[in-house]
A and B are shown apart, each in its own frame.
Chain A
Amino acid sequence: MSVEIDTRPLWIILALKSLRPIFFLLLAILFWYFIKMPSPEGLTAAGQNAIAVFLICLILWVSNMIPLAITSIFAIILVPLLGILTKKETYSLFGNEAVFFILGAFILAGAVMHSGLSNRIALNVIKRYGYSPKRLLLCVFLLAAALSFFMSEHAVAAMLFPMLLELAKSLKLRPGKSNYGKFLFHALSWGCIVGGVATFLGGARVPLAMGILKETTGETIGFLDYTVAVLPLVFILLAVGFMILTVLYPIDVAGVDNAGEVIAKRLKELGKVSFSEYAVGMVLLLTIVGWISLGRTLGLAAVALGSVVILFVLRIVRWKDVEDYVNWGIILMYGGAITLGSALDKSGAAAWLIKGVIGRWSGAPWTIFALVSLLTIFLTEAMSHAAVIAVLLPVVIGMAGKMSVDPVVMTYSVATPAGLAFMLPMSTPANGIAVSSNYITVRDMIKGGLIMAIISWVLFNLMAAFYWPLIGFGRLR
């Protein structure tokens, strides 16, 4: 047995060991101060408590000192305890349709991954179209994006990553040196990120935003309505992203024949298309049709959960598989985020905050829209996407009412940019995966990501200003 001796100076060891307790002690003092200080004019006691809970959650979500889901649970405990909402109201918010829609969508995505269908589609597309260096990159980029339309972008990144590692090895790309390697793994992360904002399914952020919107205003966004509104942005970003990568990383390989052999070998290992692949594909297709055609009448969650039941009736998945493929912590996080949003709204805290922030400012609504989307894009680089929505959206929806802007439009100003995190490995798991390959350095990611973040923001605002009015969306009240 070896004994490790810490040779650092004692004061450094003590300081590092006490950092965490000090952080939580300061947080507790701050929280106590906020709830005990005299209520500012126009703010109820419940509203003041709601703001205190909001600030604590904000600090915990940004600092990542405890898991996101645990912060949400903390909010759920504090909201009824401090009399912001009743116990019944608080826990019933967990039954929000958005939470169950996300649950259903995750189980469906799990079934798709478990059946091997997504893997087969990816391999076949690359085999069919990826026959030249440039085409292979384009294939990976578009494939990552297209798959992220139908299943979570994280699942897509996790699925494609091992395949890309094999491709890179077969092409003898040098980690950290090869332009082609950098391009390949950027194509994976950027493809997932851009594709992830196209539908409700890619990032699962939009359902959360929709849940908060419904709880605070009663309004909702349809599955197809959302996609129609953002699809041009997605297509333009894909084109621009590919061009940027082409300029930043000129192709430095002559051919990709070896990659073709890897794909052929992997496809051979998969064998023939199984019944479960056909069945899962069919159920997924019918679910999407259901979301588009019956979403408004039946509800998106009912369609998603109905499909889940069908998967079990057909014995395509077992409960054990579902358990392993779904991140249950995220479901808790989403429930807590909706509770927090509702607490801010119903206690009058959101309205009070907005009054304080905006005051008598009468800026143009589109200025607000542009500023909110910019703030979202920068916050999402450092925070979880869902946490950004949970923190910003309740305030932004309240702001919409005061500024005479449609709250649905303002919901887009947070929900869509919250997914566009290109710059840092910690911004989203897709970036983290790409950097862990060592083909991309953090510096590479920041360089390309910053350009892409700025372009995304500009394009998003241009789309809102010029395209949305054409489809009858985005009018001011």
Chain B
Amino acid sequence: MKKILLVLSVAVTPEKAIDYAIERAGMDKTGLVVLYVIDTEPAEEILESFSDVGFVGDRPSMRLSESIMKEYRQRGYDEIGRVQIKAMEAGVEFEPIMEQGDLAEKVLELIRRFDIKLAILTKKGKRSFFKYLSRSPSDEVKEKAACEVVVFTDE
């Protein structure tokens, strides 16, 4: 049975995206796969910046990088828990997955692996000028995914 994928990230996912995912899963009588992707880039960037220009050595830098990753994981559990409660209340089958790495890459991989029919993502709202300069991972997924993709904009 084709499932619905809800993608959560380090930034808080808006309620409307969660509600929409659960509503669609309920209507289509299908399961909901919830993916939380831990973006390792900020922790890696901090570590790099400390090694390059920082005034402290490896140990404090590593501790700092670990605390960022710990925080992201914890935030992932919280976010997944938030969706789980709503899914249980709506009687929707729920499958949580936590991954680490590039968001677009992980989402596309899961779409293939779980035979997803609808992927729901969120992206940050950008002003018109910046919209043309940068591309969000959600845009990349929308372009490459072999399923329906709905992107919510978090203003």
Q: Mark B41-66, 1 if CB is under 8 A from A, else 0.
A: 01101100111111111111101100
Partner of A436, one of B60, B61, B68: B68
Q: Chain B: which residue is nearest A321 at the CB level? A: B59
Cβ–Cβ contact A154 & B50, under 8 A: yes
**Known pairs A158-B64, A327-B50, A432-B45; A438 contacts B10 (CB<8 A):** yes
Interface residues of A in 157-181 (CB under 8 A from B): 158-159, 161-162, 165, 169, 174-177
Question: Cβ of B71 < 8 Å from any Cβ of A?
Answer: yes
Interface residues of B in 97-155 (CB under 8 A from A): 124, 144
Cβ–Cβ contact A155 & B55, under 8 A: yes
Of the candidate stretches A106-114, A212-220, A243-251, the one touching chain B is A106-114
Question: Cβ of A469 < 8 Å from any Cβ of B?
Answer: no
B interface, by DSSP: helix, strand, loop or mixed?
Answer: helix
Contacts of A329 in B (CB 8 A): 51-52
Interface residues of B in 65-104 (CB under 8 A from A): 67-68, 71, 74-75
Partner of B59, one of A106, A165, A324: A324
Question: Cβ of A459 < 8 Å from any Cβ of B?
Answer: no
Contacts of B60 in A (CB 8 A): 113, 155, 158-159, 325
Cβ–Cβ contact B55 & A106, under 8 A: yes
Q: What bracket does the count of chain B residues touching chain A fall in?
A: 20 to 34
Q: What is the bound-complex CA distance between A329 and B56, given in angstroms?
A: 10
Question: Cβ of A7 < 8 Å from any Cβ of B?
Answer: yes
Cβ–Cβ contact B56 & A327, under 8 A: yes
Partner of B55, one of A64, A152, A161: A152
**Known pairs A68-B52, A433-B46; A325 contacts B74 (CB<8 A):** no
Q: What bracket does the count of chain A residues touching chain B fall in?
A: 35 or more
A interface, by DSSP: helix, strand, loop or mixed?
Answer: helix
Question: Cβ of A79 < 8 Å from any Cβ of B?
Answer: no
Q: What is the bound-complex CA distance between A433 and B45, given in angstroms?
A: 9
**Known pairs A327-B56, A330-B53; A165 contacts B11 (CB<8 A):** no
Cβ–Cβ contact B59 & A436, under 8 A: no
**Known pairs A325-B57, A327-B54; A175 contacts B10 (CB<8 A):** yes
Question: Cβ of A415 < 8 Å from any Cβ of B?
Answer: no
Cβ–Cβ contact B57 & A324, under 8 A: yes
Q: Mark B3-14, 1 if CB is under 8 A from A, else 0.
A: 000000011100
Question: Cβ of A414 < 8 Å from any Cβ of B?
Answer: no
Q: Chain A: which residue is nearest B61 at the CB level? A: A158
Cβ–Cβ contact A426 & B49, under 8 A: yes
CB distance from A451 to the nearest CB of B (A): 19
Question: Cβ of A237 < 8 Å from any Cβ of B?
Answer: no
Question: Cβ of A353 < 8 Å from any Cβ of B?
Answer: no
Contacts of B67 in A (CB 8 A): 161-162, 165
Cβ–Cβ contact B45 & A436, under 8 A: yes
Cβ–Cβ contact A323 & B57, under 8 A: yes
Contacts of B54 in A (CB 8 A): 154, 327, 330, 429
Cβ–Cβ contact B58 & A324, under 8 A: yes
Cβ–Cβ contact B55 & A204, under 8 A: yes
Q: What is the bound-complex CA distance between A326 and B46, given in angstroms?
A: 16
Q: Chain A: which residue is nearest B66 at the CB level? A: A162
Question: Cβ of A437 < 8 Å from any Cβ of B?
Answer: yes
Question: Cβ of A397 < 8 Å from any Cβ of B?
Answer: no
Interface residues of A in 99-136 (CB under 8 A from B): 106, 109-110, 113
Question: Cβ of A67 < 8 Å from any Cβ of B?
Answer: yes
Cβ–Cβ contact B56 & A155, under 8 A: yes
Q: What is the bound-complex CA distance between A109 and B10, given in angstroms?
A: 33
Q: Chain B: which residue is nearest A113 at the CB level? A: B60
Q: Mark A322-352, 1 if CB is under 8 A from B, else 0.
A: 0111111110000000000000000000000
Question: Cβ of A384 < 8 Å from any Cβ of B?
Answer: yes
Cβ–Cβ contact B75 & A109, under 8 A: no
Contacts of B50 in A (CB 8 A): 154, 158, 327, 429
Q: What is the bound-complex CA distance between A438 and B42, given in angstroms?
A: 10
Q: Chain B: which residue is nearest A2 at the CB level? A: B109
CB distance from B33 to the nearest CB of A (A): 19
Cβ–Cβ contact B56 & A175, under 8 A: no
Cβ–Cβ contact A436 & B43, under 8 A: yes
Cβ–Cβ contact A174 & B59, under 8 A: no
CB distance from A67 to the nearest CB of B (A): 5
List, sorted by A's number, 30 A–B pairs whose CB atoms are closer than 8 Å: A69-B52, A109-B55, A110-B56, A152-B55, A153-B55, A154-B50, A154-B55, A155-B56, A155-B60, A162-B64, A169-B74, A175-B75, A204-B55, A324-B57, A324-B58, A326-B56, A327-B56, A327-B57, A329-B51, A329-B52, A330-B53, A330-B54, A384-B53, A385-B53, A429-B54, A432-B42, A432-B49, A433-B64, A436-B43, A436-B45
Known: A326-B57, A330-B53. 12 other contacts (CB 8 A): A154-B50, A158-B56, A158-B63, A162-B63, A162-B67, A203-B55, A324-B57, A325-B60, A429-B50, A433-B64, A436-B68, A438-B11
Q: Which 10 A-B pairs have the closest CB atoms?
A: A152-B55, A324-B59, A436-B42, A162-B67, A384-B53, A325-B57, A158-B64, A154-B55, A154-B54, A158-B60
